Structure 1
């Protein structure tokens, strides 16, 4: 299998999961600043011209959550449950994709992506607009996590990898999380995992690096 990635939000969760599972993938760096994701060759794998992409034989799979589920299922891992919990995991994947992460991504884009790619200063109006809705959904997540170790049941799942994806950047992105202690506690638990703390398998030259066991 080949996993095409860069060091941005959606590839981060896939790389973390692949490292956690010790999946037999070849990590292939995509240089976004040079437009490598927009070449005809890359668009043949993903017409959306986005990372990550997983190539597994004849299958070219895009969408990070689908890739995580595929890797977990292929590894025989309970991170993508085979029982009734699967519906609950799916619920949180959908909630994150439609509600939480799009709002967190505003802060990530304004404070991290813009400076990185020379796209100008953070737009205070966009941040102000996103803040109330982000806090609304953070309150939902915080309340759900009260008394829980993980999002679904008492076990780690792909839902945790998905919903927490912006949290490693909370300080730099200036996510308004001061009033949500359960989110911070939950993320501290995830941060105890080496694969979550250090997910990207690249060296300073952008080449794949040899990963340590998760």
Structure 2
């Protein structure tokens, strides 16, 4: 089994789950700066030209959320719950996150960290202002939900936590506003107790 990754937000989710569950995968780094994601050999496994990608026998999976669920199944774990109602709850948070929380946090990550790092110039002030405002609105929803819960589904850690928290390790450098959301901060501190969350790409992270 091979997991193609780069040290960015979406691969972070899949790598963290793989390490957390000790799934026997070979981690294959794709150098985005060198354009390896556009090489014909890579496009043959993911025509979107993006990471992560999981190659498991005759199964090729794109998309970090799907990869996390598959890795949980492979490990016989409950990060992707077996109970149908819990599965629906996880799917709700994955969908919400993709449209709101990490969507806006990811914009701040891109504008404040990635653009300067790859020579794309200064952050777009309008994009940063809009993403900051929308992130705060989403964070308020999440903060209220987490006020009486340890994890998104209560006491059980699931792939939803790995997905929704994906941008938060970059909060300081990306200027992701967390100060007004203590329940979100406490929840992320719990995730930081997991070695795989702190170092999803290995010891060199």
1:182 equivalent in structure 2 = 183
SS at match of 2:154: coil
Q: Give the secondary structure class of the aligned counterpart of 1:72.
A: helix
Conserved in 2, the CA contact under 8 Å of 1:11 and 1:52? yes
1:168 aligns to what? 169
Corresponding residue number in structure 2 for 1:196: 197
- Partner in structure 2 of residue 152 of structure 1: 153
The residue number in structure 1 matching 2:16 is 16
Counterpart in 1 of 2:59?
59
Map 1:15-164 onto structure 2 (within 5 A).
15-83=15-83, 84-164=85-165
Give the drift of 1:184.
Answer: 0.3
TM-score with structure 1 length normalisation? 0.93
Equivalence for 1:207: none
Deviation at 1:201, TM superposition (A): 2.8
| 1:32 partner SS | coil
What CA distance in whole angstroms lies between the structure 2 residues aligned with 1:95 and 1:101? 9
SS class of match (1:55): strand
Q: Distance in 1 between matches of 2:203 and 2:15?
A: 11
Task: Quote the Cα distance in structure 2 between the aligned partners of 1:194 and 1:202.
Answer: 10
What RMSD in Å do the two structures reach over aligned CA positions?
A: 1.1
Q: TM-score, normalised by structure 2?
A: 0.97
CA contact (8 A) 1:27 1:201 kept: no
Mind listing any 5+ residue stretches in structure 1 that lack a counterpart?
205-214
Distance (whole Å) between structure 1 residues aligned to residue 74 and residue 200 of structure 2: 19
Q: 1:152 to 1:160 in 2, by over 3 A?
A: same
Cα deviation, residue 96, structure 1: 0.5
Q: 1:26 to 1:202 in 2, by over 3 A?
A: farther
Q: Could you say what secondary structure the match of 1:33 adopts?
A: coil
In structure 2, distance between residues paired with 1:111 and 1:165: 16
Asked whether the 8 Å contact 1:12–1:165 carries over to 2, the reply is: yes
Point out where structure 2 has 5 or more consecutive residues left out of the alignment.
Answer: none
**1:102 offset after TM fit, Å?**
1.1
CA contact (8 A) 1:29 1:202 kept: no
Deviates more, 1:155-164 or 1:113-122: 113-122
1:115 shift after superposition: 1.6
Measured in 1, the distance between the counterparts of 2:114 and 2:75 equals 33
* Inter-partner Cα distance in structure 2 for 1:139 and 1:129: 16
Higher alpha-carbon deviation: 118-127 or 71-80: 118-127
Shift of 1:132: 1.7
How many residues were matched structurally?
204
Counterpart CA distance in 1 for 2:184 and 2:154 is: 16
